[in-house]
Each structure stands twice: as structure tokens, then as C-alpha cells.
Amino acid sequence: MTCLLCHAKFHIHYRFSDLFLLKTSEQFICPDCQQDFIKIPTEHCPRCYKSGDSQICKDCQEWESKGILINHQAIFQYNGAMHDYFSRYKFLGDYQLHKIFKSFFQKFDKNFTVVPIPISPERYQERGFNQVSAFLKEHSFTELLVKSDTSTQSSLDRKDRLNSKNAFSIIENAILPQKSS
């Protein structure tokens, strides 16, 4: 295999249990690149997954005091490797790179409707794909949102992001999923 990130050649070592369970865990990056992506430690805010403490963090407490319950799930830390990954994937538009993380989007609760975060039509034109939908392409998902504000979230600092108006709105005449009783 050739690593999608550093282009080094590498071999995949299947474990006996993988073969037994017919698990073909596809691997697209070499072990060296793999280890640059660090999983979020078990000590994290249960609401937003910020690492460091297993208590509900100050930000989440503040949202909760306003009646908004954060319920995120995150897998990896946003470190230098992840930053570089997203620069190549999003800003350089390297579509193939969606393969690296697609296997992490496998288990969705059937009672939920999966809605990818949209990108603006201008960005779509430029990049040629929605980086979120690309991860979800083997699953069923529903496009329900449009981007109403053209600034990119990544161009804003944290304070601006928190203060920015809702950047997304529901597609006109969209059929919204009904709560199953």
C-alpha cells in the first residue's frame, strides 16, 4: 500500500481475529502517519469532549445555563497532524483523503437523521466536494441545511465563532424527519 499522506510504501498486518471476523479494516495511511493522530483521552468534558477534565467544562456550563445542551462526540485531538490533514483535504481539495477517516463514521443510531454540515455554493464550486458528505458517502444521510453566511468557520477565531449568527438555515420546503413515537 502507498500511504495517502506521506506516500511511503507500507504493509498491512492483519491480525488473526480480523480474518476470523472477516473484518477488512481498510488502511490508507502508514503506521507512522497513523500515530500522529491522537485520540481524545478518556479524561474529557462529557458534553464537548474537550480534553483535560471529566467534569462539564465552563463553556458547556455556560451554554447549559442558556438552556442549550451540548452533546458532541469527538474522536481525535486537533493537533498539528490533524490541522495539516484538513488543510490538504479541504483547502487543497484532495478528495481521496476522505478515505482515511471514513471508517470512523460507521455506527449511527437508526433513530437519528444524519445531516452533514453544508458548504457554500462558492466553496463547493472551488473544492468540488463537501468534505463532510464525503465521509458519509456510504451511509444514508439527508441534506437539510444550507449555508447562509459565506465566511468560513475556520477563518474566524473562537470568540467570533461564538458570536457569529447562525451560519446555517434549513433548506426551503425541506421535509423534516418526524420524531418516531
d(CA 101, CA 48): 20
48 counts as binding Zn ion under rule CB under 5 A:
yes
Q: Which of 33, 97, 134, 167 binds Zn ion (CB under 5 A)?
A: 33
Q: How far is the CB of 39 from Zn ion (least distance, A)?
A: 17
Nearer CB in complex with Zn ion: 60/100: 60
Contact 34, 13 (CB under 8 A): no
- Count, residues near Zn ion per rule CB under 5 A: 12
Nearer CB in complex with Zn ion: 50/88: 50
Q: How far is the CB of 144 from Zn ion (least distance, A)?
A: 25
**Pick from 73, 83, 77, 5: nearest CA to 38:** 77
End-to-end CA distance of the chain: 48
Q: Which of 27, 28, 30, 44 binds Zn ion (CB under 5 A)?
A: 30
132-167: burial string, b at 16+ Cβ within 10 Å, e else: bbbbbeeeebeebbbbeeeeeeeeeeeeeeeeeeeb
Instruction: Please identify, among the stretches 7-15, 95-103, 104-112, 115-123, the one whose residues bind Zn ion according to the rule CB under 5 A.
Output: 7-15
d(CA 59, CA 61): 5
Contact pattern from residue 51 through residue 70 relative to Zn ion, giving x for each residue in contact according to CB under 5 A and a dash for the rest:
------x--x----------
Q: How far is the CB of 6 from Zn ion (least distance, A)?
A: 3
What does the binding site for Zn ion look like in residue numbers (CB under 5 A)? 3, 5-6, 8, 30, 33, 45, 47-48, 50, 57, 60
